[in-house]
Structure 1
């Protein structure tokens, strides 16, 4: 099992999300046996992007990203200080206010879980095929 951690306080959301995507790509490229295919890697990076975007947008800007490689899947865990869990919303097709991310994360993942943190906050986890 291989794990990497990144803790960030993001002054600008686009920078935080770009850093998280780069960290995820680097982590995935470092994995040997079994290697992660391009399609699976793109899916992991997309889920990282969505979860970090939500943490930065709704969690006050601070987040911790943890990536863990298991034999048959990759676990993405994003922790933020907000106790509010993600929620399904009707996507906004006209106003550009979002609503697509949590649907997408659930559709792409083998499983998702939201765990309350001991001092408030939460960790959102997604298991993705390797």
Structure 2
């Protein structure tokens, strides 16, 4: 696992309850990427299309993966936040599942290749300060920091 991780108090494999919770964030990875683009436009007015600068593409990919995982495995996004500090993007994505993200093992043989299961390793590779926190009402919040330029 990458970054700090806190184990949720009441693990559950059922995300059906999460489906009853209101959606309070992007309903698709495209909406999440748009939120990051809007935050960047507000912070850096007049700069070109995000995604062409160092790190912006990484931030867009990370937010896509986190949002996709929340939708597929957590019953949807229950909270979402994007903040900027200097040359980094901080993204928090919450969902209603207590299930923790799992690292896939490394695939070294062509026979071991499979579809899916690569999102969390991508997040761990591109982001830093990855924190998974249990939420009081159930579910989890994943917060990551993605540098916008090389350190």
Does TM, scored on the shorter chain, surpass 0.5?
Answer: yes
Q: Which of residues 109, 123, 138 in structure 2 aligns to 1:120?
A: 138
Cα displacement (A) at 1:27: 1.3
Q: Which residue of 1 aligns with 2:78?
A: 63
User: Is 2:40 the partner of 1:28?
Assistant: yes
Cα displacement (A) at 1:91: 6.4
Higher RCO (CA 8 Å, separation ≥ 6 residues)? 2
Which structure: greater strand fraction? 1
Q: Which of residues 125, 138, 141 in structure 2 aligns to 1:107?
A: 125
TM-score (norm 2): 0.68
Any idea what the Cα deviations from partners look like across 1:36-70, whole Å, max 9, x if unmatched? 87131111111000000000000112332201111
Q: Tell which structure's C-alpha radius of gyration is larger.
A: 2
State the superposition RMSD in angstroms.
2.4
TM-score (norm 1): 0.78
SS of 1:47's partner is helix
Alpha-carbon separation, structure 1, partners of 2:40 and 2:26? 23
Which structure: greater helix fraction? 1
Aligned residues: 118
Q: Structure 1: where are the runs of 5+ without partners? A: 1-5, 11-15
